Amino acid sequence: DTGVSQDPRHKITKRGQNVTFRCDPISEHNRLYWYRQTLGQGPEFLTYFQNEAQLEKSRLLSDRFSAERPKGSFSTLEIQRTEQGDSAMYLCASSSRGSGKDEKLFFGSGTQLSVL
Amino acid sequence: AQSVSQHNHHVILSEAASLELGCNYSYGGTVNLFWYVQYPGQHLQLLLKYFSGDPLVKGIKGFEAEFIKSKFSFNLRKPSVQWSDTAEYFCAVRMNSGYSTLTFGKGTMLLVSP
């Protein structure tokens, strides 16, 4: 499978614990996005990388959320001191921007986080 | 900031019925428009997209959508649905100026009964 892969698929944690999710984009894609999806809602943008540079992070939900893409390949999303409201599906997407603005995002299957 | 409104949260149809899912967006400038589909247990997939040109765009699996600029709408249609179309459908918009992210609607869950 050469699509976007995310690990783990499911994560159950206790309130107050830190969690980290990993995303491996499609290999030739230079752009990587993180989204969050809660029940009954569409995906909500969190942050975005172009290669290793994090170009947009103002939509990260709080300072407990952080993301990295150290070598411009895989990315990690960390949530510190988790709260029950952090329970959601965390989606990763990647793209290789085509000519003009013909950008198409490819999504992973997501990591389902449950905070008890 | 742009927003996307999907009219129906749940739609139930019988096989062979026609489908139209509504999508409206709020942004006065030039936009790129998308419909994504999520089949049960699978990841989001692009169904079709509009960037420019012919406002009637055709996507995979017999789906099409029409961009009506005056109505800020991008409704999804299919003349005859199949049981395999059961999925959640998301409309998304991106401003066509500089860098912009996708903004998604809340989604419409379509259930097609055989």
Q: Report the phi/psi class of residue B104: left, alpha or beta, with left for phi > 0 and alpha for psi in -120 to 50.
A: beta
Give the model confidence (pLDDT) of A63-97 as tens digits.
Answer: 999 999 998 899 999 999 999 999 999 999 998 87
How far from the centroid of its chain's Cα atoms is residue B98's Cα?
A: 23
Distance CA B29, CA B13 (A): 35
- Which of A41-45, B19-23, B94-98 ranks highest by mean pLDDT? B19-23
Size of interface A-B (CB pairs under 8 A): 47
Q: Do B46 and A33 touch (CB under 8 A)?
A: no
pLDDT at A102: 66
- Measured between CA atoms, the residue of chain A closest to residue B102 is A45
- Using CB atoms, which residue from A45, A48, A104 is nearest to B46? A104
- B97 confidence band (pLDDT: 50, 70, 90): low
Mind listing the pLDDT tens digit for each residue in B47-69? 999 988 999 999 999 999 999 99
How far is residue B1's CA from residue B58's CA, in Å, rounded to a whole number?
28
**Nearest-CB residue to B43 (from A42, A44, A107):** A107
Q: B77-96 in b/e burial notation, b at 16+ Cβ within 10 A?
A: ebeebeeebbbbbbbbbbbb
Confidence of residue B7 (pLDDT cuts 50, 70, 90): confident
Q: What is the largest CA-CA distance in chain A?
A: 45
